[in-house]
A and B are shown apart, each in its own frame.
Chain A
Amino acid sequence: MKPLLEIDQIHVRYGDMTALRGVSITVAESEVVCVIGPNGAGKSTTLAAVAGGVKPFRGEVRLNGTAITGRAPERIAALGVSLVPEGRHIFGSLTVDENLAIGGYMRNDKAGVAADRARLLDLLPRLAERLHYPAGRLSGGEQQMLAIARAVMTRPRLLLVDEPSLGLAPKIVDQIYEILLDLRRRDGLTLLINEQSSNRILNHADRIHVLRAGVIQLEGRAEDLRDGDAIRHAYFGFGHQAPAAPAALEAAP
């Protein structure tokens, strides 16, 4: 089967710093793929390169076989890619309803937009209760739900989710994953998710990539990596560098 997304050997530089050195990831239709790695590994940069936020200086990003490298973010969005960025980036001075509306403006099917809005509000009753609140007043978990709902309003084929569990209580994180997986079940949504830790995502993802220092260290099917040793090695780079400090080990996934 032809992959929906192919990230093919991309290199990204910010000034003098190289963030990605030849990263390749493929995601098939309806697959859930997760990239895990420590802070600064290049996870967010990878998603930004797909969504058009940064331009790789080498390599190519293809959607359904068509190169989209270097296109403007709004044009990539129009092709069915939507990003839920790290830190959520809610429009805080706009109401919850307006945040949702932004996601629907580029679509031409008014009825479809209205139906999606109703369905999402059904799924997320806490947003429905706060439709006319400024979105900046929502709690962190509610903002994360809004960010996902807003992205889904664009009716994407591929949803990129950057660290959905960052800074949220475990119970809320469970809810967020429930929502994401529910959207996948109903719509056949394809997901590419970044996380810092692997413990939760191993149960949800089909495949895992471990990214460290701008290089994919390990990739495999989630069920094959469940025991965790291979991931730990790839994540901390044992054998290549000095072992991680004990404190870091305790916090290990």
Chain B
Amino acid sequence: MIGLLQNLIDALSLGSIYALTALGIGLLFGILRLINFAHGDFITIGAYALIVPSADVTARMLIGDFNIALMLPAIALIVIVAALLTDALVFRPLRRSSPPTLMIGSFAVSYIIQNAVLMMYGSRPKAINLWSDANTQVIIGDLRVPMLQVITLVVTLALMAGLSVFLKKSRYGVQMRAAAEDFRMAQYLGVRGNFVIGLAFAISGILASAVALLYVTQSGSLSHTMGVPLALFAFVAVVIGGMGSLVGAVVGGFLVGFIVTMLQAYLPPDLRAFRDAFAFAFVILVLLVRPAGLVPARNTVERV
């Protein structure tokens, strides 16, 4: 029983990371029909921004040593700038291109970012110690909950609530939702297309920087490909949840976290190496039953 609870808490924490990443991908997909595989590399940028650029094996903190009140906005700002630059240099020239073209563009961005990180920081993974205090455990009865998992969940819920309030209550949020549903019609009503897209990139940058900090604290290491598996699993989460639906992206993120954690815990040891294969088999199963995802987006269903 305690074992199961412990696993559930792990699943929630991993699911939070996937859900936040999936939200960043889902937001851009909703507005731009862009499947942004470079989102994982935005996370990498946020993580590497913590340390001094050098090829040394041991990481020396740069922004990572700042006071937290300064560090959070600094990391967020760097990732936002990277995201906006990506839009300006790559996706704006491709504005009238088809979704597959945009996706291939995002692969290009992904490789460029990875190689830039490689050149500046070297190829070897680096150990990094961010907020080691957060690894203390809270003991509730027989249950040991790492503080970090609690923080992860709280931060995730707070960001989701913030995003939800922004989308529902602010004029820019309403414009973004309108643009996600019918971009051209929104433009006909005076919604500035490039502005709304830039806003979506900026928000996905904020989400990516939050994931970067949580993930680095958890894993304690940096590598130039660290964002790739995150983006892949988050993309799977977006697909399971229903392309274009933000609620779906969150549901999908938590579900993927749950599946991966449970497989890791309960698969026979011999099969654990194939955990991801089982996870993706489950995804195929979900899509066979619900091809439009668990929470289909209204507008994409109509478009078919």
Q: Which residues of A contact B (CB under 8 A)?
A: 51-53, 72-74, 77-78, 82-83, 85, 89, 91-94, 98-99, 101-103, 105-106, 136, 150-151, 154
Partner of B189, one of A72, A93, A103, A136: A103
Q: Are A93 and B298 in contact (CB under 8 A)?
A: yes
Bound together, the chains give a CA A103 to CA B175 distance in angstroms of 10
Judging by beta carbons under 8 Å apart, are B178 and A102 in contact? yes
CB distance from A39 to the nearest CB of B (A): 21
Contact B298 A136 (CB under 8 A): yes
Interface string of B203-228 (1 = CB under 8 A from A): 00000000000000000000000000
Q: A93-B177, A94-B174, A101-B171 are in contact. Are A74 and B182 (CB under 8 A)?
A: no
Q: How many A-B residue pairs have CB under 8 A?
A: 74
Q: Assess whether B187 is in contact with A91, with CB atoms less than 8 Å apart.
A: no
Instruction: Pick from B177, B178, B188, B299: contact of A73, CB below 8 A.
Output: B188
B184 touches A74 (CB 8 A): no
- Are A85 and B190 in contact, with the CB atoms below 8 A? no
Which residues on B are within 8 Å of A, measured CB to CB?
171, 174-175, 177-178, 181-182, 184-193, 298-299
Contact B193 A72 (CB under 8 A): yes
A85, chain B: closest CB distance, angstroms? 7
Please list 9 pairs of residues, one from A and one from B, whose beta carbons are closer than 8 Å in the complex, sorted by A's number: A85-B188, A89-B182, A92-B181, A93-B298, A99-B178, A102-B174, A105-B174, A136-B298, A150-B189
Partner of B186, one of A51, A93, A102: A102
CB distance from B179 to the nearest CB of A (A): 9
Given the complex of chains A and B, what is the CA–CA distance between A85 and B186 in angstroms?
12
- The 8 Å CB contact of B191, one of A83, A99, A102, is A102
Provide the bound-state CA to CA distance between A102 and B178, in Å.
8
Pair A74/B187 contact, Cβ less than 8 Å? yes
Given A92-B181, A136-B298; A73-B175 close (CB under 8 Å): no
Partner of A94, one of B178, B187, B192: B178
